[in-house]
Structure 1
Amino acid sequence: MNVSLLIARRYFSSKNKRNIISIISNISMVGVAVGTMALIIVLSVFNGLEDLVRTLYGKSDPDLLVTAVQGKSFETNEQLLQRIRTTPGVGLLTEVIEDNALLQYHDRQMVVKMKGVSENYFAQSDIDSAIVEGDHRLVRGGENYALLGAGVQHELSIALDNRFAPLHLLYPRNTGKKTLSMNPETAFSQQTIIAGGVFLIEQHIDDSYIFVPIDFAQRLLNYGSRRTALEVKVSESRTIEEVKQDLQRVLGDKFHVHDSDEQHVSLLKAIKVEKMFVFITFAFILLIASLNIFFSLSMLVLDKKKDVAILRAMGATSRMIRNIFLLEGAIVAQVGAITGLTFGVAICWAQQTFHIVSMGMATSVVDSYPVKMQLSDIILTGIAIIVITITVSIRPALNAARLDLRENL
C-alpha cells in the first residue's frame, strides 16, 4: 500500500487530533459538500431550461430552415423547389411567407407576425398539438382561416368562427415612392380572414404570431413567387446534419440552411453563457469554502511536527512528507465532494420524478422547474474540486516537507 496514503488516512480518522483542527476539517468538508451540491443542482436546472427551450420551439420549428443570405425574401421557381425535394433525406418541403402586418378587430389593433404556410405545414409541425381552442386547419370548406397565438387573441378579445366580425390584416403597398400616402385605401393592401383556432406554445410566439394560408399572405403582401423561407422536414433515413450539408451544397452560397439550434442561436447561447458564469461563480465559492482545508492542514503540520521529524529520521523523503499532507487535503475534499454529489444527484432525481419545486406561475407552460443531469457537469465539477484542492493544499504540504529534522526531534 502507498505509505503516504496510509498515513494520510490515519491522520484523517485519528481521534487524537486537536479539537480545533477537527472542527476546521469538518467545516471544510461541509463547505465542499454544500458547494458541490449547489453546483450540480444549478447546472442541472440550466440543462433543463435548455431542453425546455428546444421542446417548446420544436412544436413550430422545422428540422431545417432555408433563408436567403441577403434580403428578407427570395424568388422561387419549380426548378429550385424540385432540387430541394429530390435531395436525399428531404421528407417534406413547406413554403413560407412571413412578415409584420397590422391586425384589426373591431376597434382594436396591433402589429403581428403573420406567417403564411403551404397546406402541408401541419404534416411537419407539431403546432396542432398546442391548440387550446378551435381547429388548427387553415382551409376548411374552401374558406381561409387564421390560427392565432393565445396572447394575440387575449389582447384583441377575438371570438372564433365569427363571420360577422372577421379579422382585418393590413400591409403597406409597395408603390415605389419614398413617402407613404395618407389615404389608408391607397397606402395599405387589406384582406379579411376568419379566426379559426388558438395555440399556446411560448410567450414570445403566443403574443405575436398568427398563421394563415400561403395564398392569403401572397395576396396581402403582393409577394408573387417570392418566399421568406423554405422549411424542410428530414426523413428518418438520414440525419439532420447530413441533409443540412447536402442542401447547402445544392443551394450554394446564396442561401443559409439552419438546423433547430441555429434558428435560436442567440437564446441558446445566452443560456450557455449564463451557465458558464454560474459555474465560475460557484467554483469561486468552492474555493472560498476550501480555504478551511488550507487552515486545517497548516494547523495539522504544526501539530505533527514531531511525527514528521521521526519519519524523516526513518528515511522518509521530502516528496513523501509532501504527499502525506496533499493526500490529507484530498481526502477531506473527496469526502465533502462525494457527499455533496450524492445529495445533489438525489435532489435532482427527486425534482425530475416528483416535481417538488413548482414554477409558481399559473400561466407557465411547465408545472415545475425542469432539471436534467449530465455526466459532463459531474466530471467538470470533479475537475474543479481537484484543482481547488491542490491549490489550497500545496502550501501546507511544502511547509511540512521543509521542516528541519534537528529542531523537531
Structure 2
Amino acid sequence: MRFELFIALRYLLSRRKHGFISAISLISVAGVALGVAALIVVLGVMNGFSDNLRDKILGVNAHIIVSSISGPMDSYASLQDRIEALDGVQASMPFIYTEVMLSTQHGVKGSAVRGISPDQADDVMSLGKDLIQGRLADLSPGNGDLPGIVLGRGLASRLGVGPGDVIHMLVPSARSTAAGFAPQVKNFAVAGVFKTGMYEYDSSLAYIHLRAAQKSLGFAQDLISGLEVRIQDVYAAEEVGTRIARLADHNLAVQTWMDMNRSLFSALKLEKTAMAVILVMIVLVGSFSIITTLIMLVMDKKQDIAVLMSLGCQPGHIKRIFMLQGTIIGMVGTALGFFGGLSLSAALQKYQFIQLPSDVYHMEHLPVKLELLDLGLIGLAALVLCFAATIYPARQAARVHPAEVLRYE
C-alpha cells in the first residue's frame, strides 16, 4: 500500500482525536449517497414513464399512419403490398376512423370508433393482449347476429354494458327522411372489453369490424381511412415513412408515431433533463461537504504535514494524500448511493407500492426502467464532482511551510 493511501485512510478512520472531522466525513458520504440514489431513482422513473407511455401509445396506434390527402383511400391493396415489401416493415392493416355517439339505457357517451380487420390486428397492434373480456374474432357477425364492438373498460363502465349486451351507435352519415336529414342508428353487440391502462383510450375508444364500419358509414368495400403500418424498429419510423411517401403515384399523408406525439415526448425529455440538473445539485452539495472536511483536516493536520515534509515528502505527495481522502469519500458515497438507488428501484418495480390515479396519469403505478448509460453518467458525474472538490484543499495542504509551522514547537 502506498504511504499516501495509508495516511489518507488513517485520517479518515481515526476517531480518538478527530471525531468531529470523522462525523463531517460521514455527513459528506451521506450527502453524495443521497444525491446518487435520488438521481438513479428519479431518472429510472422518468425512463419508465416515457417507455411505458410509448408502449401504450404504440399498442393502440400503429407506428406509421398512411392516408390520402384528398380524403378516404380506395384501391389500397396494391399500395399495401408495396409497403409490406419494404425493408423494416413488419405488417400493415387498413382501418376506418370516425367519431360517433354510443348509447344504452344506462347512459350516452361520445366515442372514437375504429374499424379494423380482426385477422390482421394482432400483427399491427396489441389490442388482443389488452382484452380482459371477449375475443377479437367475435367482431365478425354470424348469420343474423349483430356485428360486434369492443369497448374500453372505462367506456363500458360508463355505459353499463358487458359482453353480449346491445349498444346503439349514432353514426354521422345522414339519411334523407320526410322531416329532413337524420343520423342513422346502428345496433352492435358488445364482443369484448379491453384495458390499456391509459385513461384516454379506455374511456373513449371502441373497435368494430372493418366491413361493419364501411357499411355503417356508407363506404364502398374498397374505401378506407388509411393504412396502419408496424415496423421492426420504432425509432426508424422517420426513415421508413419517407420511403413509404416515395412509393405512391398520388399524394399521401404519412405520419409517424413521433410526429403524432412529438410535443409530449419532447416535454418528457425536457423534464428528465431538468430533473437531472436539479438532482446533480444534491451531489454538488455533498462535494461541498468534502471541501469543508478537507479544509478543516488541513488546518488540524498542519503539524503532521510539516513533519512529513521535513522527512522528505514532496508537495505532490501531500497533495495526493488529501486528494485520495476526498476521492475515497466520493467513491464510498457513490457506492452506497448506487446500492440504495438500485435497491429502491427494484422494490418499486417489483412491489409497485406507489399507486397513481388512472384518471390523472397514463398509468396506474410508478414504472421504473434503469438504463446503463444513465447509470454510467451518474457514477461518472458523482466521482468527477467529488474529485474536483479535493483540488483546492489539497493545494492548500501542499503549500504549508514546515519552518513556519514548526518554529514554535
Q: TM-score, normalising length from structure 2?
A: 0.81
Aligned to 1:194: 189
1:78: Cα distance to partner? Answer: 3.2
Matched-pair contact (CA < 8 Å) for 1:171–1:190: no
Q: Which residue of 2 aligns with 1:138?
A: 139
Q: Which moved more, 1:289-298 or 1:115-124?
A: 115-124
Question: Is contact 2:100-2:169 (8 Å) kept?
Answer: no
After TM superposition, give the deviation of residue 266 of structure 1 in Å.
4.2
Where 1:293 maps in the other structure, the secondary structure is: helix
Task: Specify the code of the residue in structure 2 equivalent to 1:112.
Answer: S
CA contact (8 A) 2:72 2:223 kept: yes
Distance 1:239 1:379, change over 3 A: closer
| AA in 1 matched with 2:211 | D
Following superposition of structure 1 onto structure 2, how do residues 177-188 of structure 1 map, counting pairs within 5 Å?
186=181, 188=183
Aligned to 1:140, what secondary structure does the other structure show?
coil
2:11 aligned residue: 11
Question: In the alignment, what sits opposite 1:217?
Answer: 213
Counterpart of 1:405? 402
Kept after mapping to 1: 8 A contact 2:32/2:282: no
Structure-2 separation of matches of 1:158 and 1:60: 22
* Structure 1 partner of 2:101: 102
| Structure 1: unaligned runs, 5 residues or longer | 176-182
Cα separation, 2, equivalents of 1:31 and 1:68: 55
Q: Partner of 2:203 in structure 1?
A: 207
CA distance in 1, matches of 2:267, 2:387: 32
Identify the match of residue 381 of structure 1 among 378, 382, 390.
378
1:46-104 deviation line (CA, Å, top 9, x unaligned) = 33333433444454343x32334968765553332232233355453210122322323
Match of 2:116 in 1: 117
* Pair 1:276–1:286, CA change in 2 (3 A): same
What residue in structure 2 maps to residue 43 of structure 1?
43
The structural deviation recorded for 1:242 is: 7.0
Counterpart of 2:29?
29
Task: State the distance in 2 between where 1:17 and 1:263 align.
Answer: 65
After alignment, is 384-393 or 25-34 more displaced? 384-393
Residue 179 of structure 1: aligned partner: none
Moved more, 239-248 or 203-212: 239-248
CA-to-aligned-CA distance 1:295-337 (integer Å, 9 cap, x gap): 1111001011122223334454444433322221111121122
In structure 2, C-alpha distance between the alignment counterparts of 1:270 and 1:190, rounded to whole Å: 41
2:81 maps to a residue whose letter is: Q
Quick one: which of 246, 249, 253 aligns to 2:243? 249
Partner SS, residue 274 of structure 1: helix
Maintained 8 Å contact 1:293/1:329: yes
Q: Deviations over 1:11-45 (max 9, x none)?
A: 22334552221111111112222332232223223
Q: Tell me which amino acid in the other structure corresponds to 2:193.
A: V
Rounded Cα–Cα distance in structure 2 between residues aligned with 1:184 and 1:328: 90
Correspondence 1:235-314 to 2 at 5 A: 245=239, 248-252=242-246, 254-256=252-254, 258=256, 264-314=261-311
Residue 336 of structure 1 pairs with residue 337 of structure 2 = no
Hey, what's the Cα distance between the residues in 2 that align with 1:243 and 1:284?
Answer: 37
The letter of the residue matching 2:22 is S
Counterpart contact for 1:105–1:168, Cα < 8 Å:
no
Structure 1 counterpart of 2:129, one-letter code: S
| C-alpha distance 365-328 of structure 1, shift in aligned 2 (>3 A) | same
What is the aligned-residue identity percentage? 27
Aligned 8 A contact 1:329 1:393 in 2? yes
Cα distance in 2 between the residues matched to 1:294 and 1:243 = 49
Provide the secondary structure at the position in 2 that maps to 1:120.
helix
After superposition, the Cα gap between the structure-2 partners of 1:79 and 1:312, relative to the gap in structure 1 and judged at 3 Å, is same
CA distance in 1, matches of 2:275, 2:120: 40
Shift of 1:113: 1.1
Q: TM-score, normalised by structure 1?
A: 0.81
The SS at the match of 2:99 is: strand
- Once the two structures are TM-superposed, the CA of residue 349 in structure 1 deviates from its matched residue by 3.1
Q: What do the CA deviations read for 1:203-222 (whole angstroms, capped 9, x no partner)? A: 11111101112233334445
Q: Quick check: 1:156 aligned with 2:142?
A: no
How many Å separate the matches in 2 of 1:69 and 1:317? Answer: 78
Structure 1 residues 373-382 or 356-365, which shifts more?
356-365
CA separation of 1:216 and 1:36: change in aligned 2, threshold 3 A:
same
1:123–1:368 Cα change, 3 Å: closer
Describe the SS at the equivalent of 1:186.
Answer: strand
Q: Which moved more, 1:207-216 or 1:340-349?
A: 340-349
Deviations 1:327-386 (A, max 9, x none): 211111211221221232233334444x16252769999886433333223212112212
Alpha carbons 2:5, 2:321 under 8 Å: kept? yes
Distance 1:272 1:20, change over 3 A: same
Once the two structures are superposed, residues 134-161 of structure 1 have per-residue CA deviations (whole angstroms, 9 ceiling, x without a partner) of 4432112154211111111222223543
Whole-Å Cα distance in 2 between the matches of residues 309 and 205 of structure 1? 73
